[in-house]
Structure 1
Amino acid sequence: MNRLLIQPVANTEAERNRNKTLHKDVPFSESPFRSKLADGELAALERLHPDGRARFWGTRPFLDKAMRQVELGDVALFAWDKHIRAIGEVGVSFRNQAFADELWKEPGDADSFVNVYSLITLDEEVEIPYQDLADVSDGRLSGPFQSGRVVRDEVLVRQVLEGLGRRAAEVAEAGDKYVESRLEQGLVVELENFLTSEVTYGRTARDVTVHRAESLLMTEYVKAHSDLEFRRLRSAAGISDMYVLRPEGAEIIEAKGGFTRERVRQAVAQLLHYAPHRPKDVEVVRLTALFPARPDNDGVKFLHDLGIDCVYRSVPGRFERLEAPAARRTHMKPVWNDNVPE
C-alpha cells in the first residue's frame, strides 16, 4: 500500500524553504550537506539520484510516527494559494535533524524539521483547486490545509490518485524524459541504480505517479530475477523498458507505474510499437506488461487477447505472472516481428 502526503507550503517560512529545496536541486553529495548524512542515508540517496543532486522536503516531529511508514513511491501533494501546486514522488525517506537543519533552519526559527525525504520526480506545473481534491476524496480531504498529514487509507489514496487523473501521466513522462536524456548523453543508466524495495508502488494507484516509478519497479523486478540478463532495447520506436534474451528469443517488458485500465492500454500500445522495431537479429517470442499490482480482470483479458503476459508485484520482491494463452501468443508473434504474409 502507498501513502499520500498532504504538505501545506503556505506560510512565510514554508515559502522560503520551498525556494531552497523544492524548486531547485540540492547538491547533497557536496559540502556542507554530505557531512550531515549517515553512510546508509548517503548510499540510498546516491542509488536513486546518481548525479548527487535532488529535491527535498520534510516534516516536523509531530509526524514522526507516520513518517516512519513513508517509503519509496509514496505521493506528496504540495498545497498553497488554495491549490495543489506541485506533485512529487517520494524517493529516500529518513529522520535526520542535522541534515534537515542544514537544508532549512535559519536564525530565529522556533522549531526544526527532523524528517526528510527526497523527491524522485516533481511536477511543478499543476494547479488543482482544493475543491477538486475534495470532490475526488468525497470530502475527506478538503482545504485549507494547516498542517502536514500522511493518509494511509488504501482505498482513499487510490481514489484520490485515480481521481486526479491526467496529472499522473504528466509526471511519469517527466521521469521518462530524465532517463532518456541521460541515455542520450551517453551516460550509463543501470537498472540496478533505481531501487530500494518499494514499490508498493503497488503504489496503487496510478499514479500520481509520478514516475520514476516504472524504473523503480523494473529494478525490483531485476533483483527478483538475478539469473537473467536484462537489457534496454533501442529502436526507431524509442527505448523500451527492458528485454531479456532467452534461448528461444527475446521477451520485451514494459513497466508501468500504475495498474488502471489507462496504464494497461499504455503498456499495450508501447509493446506493440516496440516489438516490430526490434533489431533484425532479435526475434520477439514474448511480450510482458509489468505492473505494481494486479490490474482488474478486464485489463488482464485485454492483455491476454493480444498474447501479452501480465506480471504484477504481489509482495515486495515477488512477482506473479499471468501467462497469455499459448495459442494467442503464437497467433500474435508474426505481428510482433513484422512478419505477416501480405
Structure 2
Amino acid sequence: MPTVVIQPSLGNPDARRHWKDTMVRPVPLGRIDAALTEELRQEFIRMHPDNEARFWGMTANQDKGVDKLRTGDVVLFTGANHVQGIGEVGLVLRNAAVGDLLWKPHPDRGSYHNVYSLKSFTFTQIPYAEIWALPSFNTGDNFMGARFLTGTKADEILTGLDITTRTAAERERSAQQAEVERAAKVLGFVADEALHVESTEYVHPGGRMTVNRFEALLVRRYREHLGVETRRIRCDAGVTDMAIGTDDDLEIVEAKSNTSRLSVRTAIGQLLDYGYHIPGVRTFTILLPAQPEPSLESLCLRLGITLVYLDSEGHFTRCEAARGARVAMAALLAPLLEQATV
C-alpha cells in the first residue's frame, strides 16, 4: 500500500515560494542538469519523457520520513483549509546540489536536500472537512507539519477520496496481463491474441492523477439535503460513502457518478460487502445523479436496496424498497456476519 504524505504547501513564505516555483507549473529538467550524473539523468528522462516535472523538497529534519518514500506514493499538498493538489511520487533522491538548483537553502536548516519529483499531479480544492469525515481523522485538524501516513490512515485517504495513482493502474494492468497469459496457456489460446483487449489498457491522461470528485460532491449535496448528522465507517471492505443512524439501525449509502448498468451492479456489490462486515445495517441505499433505467430500478428494489437520485430540477427523489425486501436483505447478511466473527 502506498505511503500518503500530507504536505503543508501554503503555510509559510518558503512553502508558498516553493509552490509557486516548482509546483504551479512543471520545471524543465535542464534546470537541474548540472547536478545530475548521466545515470540519474537517464532515470529522470525515463520517468519524465516530456523533460519536465514538478518537484518538492524537504530539509534534513524530514530525513526519516523521506526514507519511507517510494515511486507511486501519494502526496496531498494542503493549505488554506483545502487540499490544493494531489501528486504521485516519481523519483526520490537525497541530493543537496539538486535541491540548491531548485530552491534557496533554508537559513537555519540548510539545503532542501530531500528532493522528489511528481510522476503525476492534479490541482484540487478538497475541503479539509472531507478528510475529517474519515473514521481515523479529527475535526478541526489543520494538518500542521508534514505527515507520513501508512496503514489504516493511508488506506482511508486513498479510498475515501477515491484516488487512483498511475503506478497502481499500471500494476493492475500488469497483473491482468499475467492472469490472461496464464489462462490463455491453460485454455490453449494464443497469448498475444488473448492480450489484445482494449479494456485492459491504462491510458495515462497527460500526467494527471485520477481523483473522482463527482461522487464526493453528490454525497455532500445529499447530506445538505438531509440536514442530519452523517458519518463514514471503515471496515475490511473499505470506507463507506455515507452512514446514517445508530450502530444498531444503520443506513449505508453508496454513491455512483453515473447510472450505467456496470455502476449500479458495482454499487450493489459494494453494499453487500459492507453489509457483510458492518453489524447493524438495516437499509442499503444507492445514490445516483439521475434516475436509472426501469430494469435497474426494479432490480435494486426487489433486492431490498433503496434508490435515491436527482431529478431534472436538482431535487432528490427517494424510491424506498419495500420493508419486507429490506428486512430480508438484512437478515440474509446477518448470519454471514455472525459466522465471520466467530
With structure 2 as the length reference, what TM-score do the two structures score? 0.51
Q: 1:219 to 1:33 in 2, by over 3 A?
A: farther
Distance 1:100-1:254 versus aligned 2 partners, 3 A rule: same
In 2: Cα distance, 1:101 partner to 1:141 partner: 37
1:214 and 2:169 correspond? yes
Partner of 2:158: 161
Q: Give the whole-Å Cα distance in 2 for the aligned partners of 1:248 and 1:14.
A: 51
Distance in 2 between the 1:248 and 1:161 partners? 35
How far off its partner does 1:247 sit? 6.8
1:146 maps to which of 136, 144, 147: 144
2:15 is the alignment partner of 1:18: no
Deviations 1:198-249 (A, max 9, x none): xxxxxxxxxx234364246546888x89x99xxxxxxxxxxxxxxx963765
Q: Go from structure 1 to structure 2 and tell me whether the alpha carbon gap of 1:16 and 1:83 turns closer, same or farther (over 3 Å shift).
A: same
Query: Structure 1 residues 39-48 or 250-259, which shifts more?
Result: 250-259
- 2:8: which partner in 1? 8
User: Aligned letter for 1:254?
Assistant: T
Residue 254 in structure 1 maps to residue 182 in structure 2: no
- Offset of residue 70 of structure 1: 0.8
**How is 1:1-342 mapped onto 2 (pairs within 5 angstroms)?**
1-9=1-9, 10-28=11-29, 30=30, 32-105=31-104, 111-124=110-123, 126-139=124-137, 143-152=141-150, 154-165=151-162, 208-211=163-166, 213-215=168-170, 218=173, 246=191, 249-252=194-197, 254=200
Shift of 1:127: 1.4
**Unmatched tracts of structure 1, length 5 or more:** 166-207, 229-243, 272-294, 300-342
Contact 1:91–1:120 (Cα < 8 Å) also in 2? yes
Which is bigger in relative contact order (C-alpha 8 A, separation at least 6)?
1
The equivalent residue for 1:338 is: none
Tell me, what secondary structure is at the counterpart of 2:87?
Answer: strand
Residue 55 of structure 1 aligns to a residue in which SS? strand
Identity score, percent: 29
Residues of 1 paired with 2:168 and 2:99: CA distance?
25
Aligned residue in 1 for 2:310: none
C-alpha RMSD of the superposition: 4.1
Preserved CA contact (<8 Å) 1:58 1:114 = yes
Equivalent in the alignment of 1:312: none
Residue 19 of structure 2 aligns with an amino acid whose one-letter code is: R
CA distance in 2, matches of 1:247, 1:130: 47
TM-score normalized with structure 1 length: 0.51
**Aligned amino acid, residue 74 of structure 1:** D
Contact 2:105–2:112 (CA<8 Å) still a contact in 1? no
Call closer, same or farther: CA 1:4–1:249 in 2, change over 3 Å: closer
Provide Cα deviations, 1:245-266, integer angstroms capped at 9, x if missing partner: 637655426157999899xx99
Alpha-carbon distance between aligned partners in 2 of 1:98 and 1:84, rounded to the nearest angstrom: 30
Number of residue pairs the alignment of both structures matches? 211
The Cα offsets for residues 156-202 of structure 1, whole Å up to 9 and x where unpaired, read as 2111211113xxxxxxxxxxxxxxxxxxxxxxxxxxxxxxxxxxxxx
Could you tell me how far apart the structure 2 residues matched to 1:141 and 1:34 are? 44
